[in-house]
């Protein structure tokens, strides 16, 4: 199970996420309390092993600015959280994660959008991300997406991530506020979230090997 820890802003939380087994580290460049400057993100990115993929989160930014930040930070993926078009995504020259709110009116656009991963989130909150709550995971049965390209987001936390994986069967899971305490990343929650998400892999393997 791929795990993405988003909204990383400090060296400590980056280190803990890597040590615990995160596959993706997310830097938020859009307006948010977790927003980070490109210079600081580049500083943190330089300390990450090549096995951990660096993701930049953007909302309706000019493509030239996105490409510039991607180069400065060394991003492996660009995550789009706005109203970006398929043509915009294809112009970036970097693998794309496209975030969609799980609403029926978005299903057709999802199925045709050119991206490497679909990040499926709950309806939008104040800053274009999810609202910190889960959506109905059964909705995934109504949209024709490759499960290997689905990253599940929205209200995930250490306590429910195993249930989410069992129900939705995504390729990966994404968390930000679900591993925070009082608005700040909590290293113990980060570790427990990753342990619980990866433990589901072990359970599935044990069933298959029984």
Q: CATH for 2-202?
A: 3.20.20.70
Q: For tokens 């087994």, what's the residue?
A: 21
Q: Are 154 and 133 in contact (CB under 8 A)?
A: yes
CB atoms within 10 A of CB 42: 18
Sequence ranges of the domains in the chain: 2-202
Confidence of residue 131 (pLDDT cuts 50, 70, 90): low
SS3 assignment for the chain: CEEEEECCCCHHHHHHHHHHCCCEEEEECCCCCCECCHHHHHHHHCCCCCCCEEEEEECCCCHHHHHHHHHHHCCCEEEECCCCCHHHHHHCCCCEEEEEECCHHHHHHHHHCCCCEEEEECCECCCCCECCCCCCHHHHHHCCCCHHHEEECCCCCCCCHHHHHHHHCCCEEEECHHHEECCEECHHHHHHHHHHHHHHHHHHHHHHHC
What is the distance between the alpha carbons of residues 39 and 83, in angstroms, rounded to a whole number?
A: 26
Average pLDDT of span 123-132? 58
Average pLDDT of span 56-68? 97
Whole-model pTM: value is 0.91
Taking only the tens place, the pLDDT of each residue in 149-182 is 999 999 999 999 999 999 999 999 999 999 999 9
**Residue 119 β-bridge partners:** 99, 151
Average pLDDT value over all residues in the chain = 92
Cβ neighbours of residue 156 closer than 8 Å, sequence gap 6 or more: 134, 164, 173, 174, 175, 178, 193
Confidence of residue 1 (pLDDT cuts 50, 70, 90): very high
What pLDDT score was predicted for residue 208?
A: 47
């Amino acid at each position: 199970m791929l795990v993405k820890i988003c909204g990383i802003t400090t060296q400590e939380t980056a280190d803990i996420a890597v040590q615990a087994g995160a596959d993706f580290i997310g830097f938020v460049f859009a307006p948010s309390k977790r927003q980070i400057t490109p210079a600081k993100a580049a500083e943190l990115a330089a300390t990450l092993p090549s096995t951990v993929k660096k993701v930049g989160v953007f909302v309706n930014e000019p493509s030239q600015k996105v490409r510039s930040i991607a180069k400065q930070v060394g991003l492996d993926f660009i995550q789009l959280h706005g109203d970006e078009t398929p043509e915009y995504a294809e112009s970036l020259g970097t693998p794309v994660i496209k975030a969609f709110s799980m609403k029926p009116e978005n299903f057709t656009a999802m199925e045709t959008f050119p991206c490497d991963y679909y990040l499926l989130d709950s309806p939008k909150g104040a800053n274009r991300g999810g609202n910190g709550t889960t959506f109905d995971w059964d909705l995934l049965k109504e949209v024709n997406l490759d499960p290997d390209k689905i990253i599940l987001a929205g209200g995930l936390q250490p306590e429910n991530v195993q249930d989410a994986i069992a129900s939705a069967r995504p390729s990966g899971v994404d968390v930000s506020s679900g591993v925070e305490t009082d608005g700040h990343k909590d290293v113990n929650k980060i570790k427990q979230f990753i342990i619980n998400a990866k433990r589901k892999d072990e359970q599935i393997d044990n069933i298959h090997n029984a």
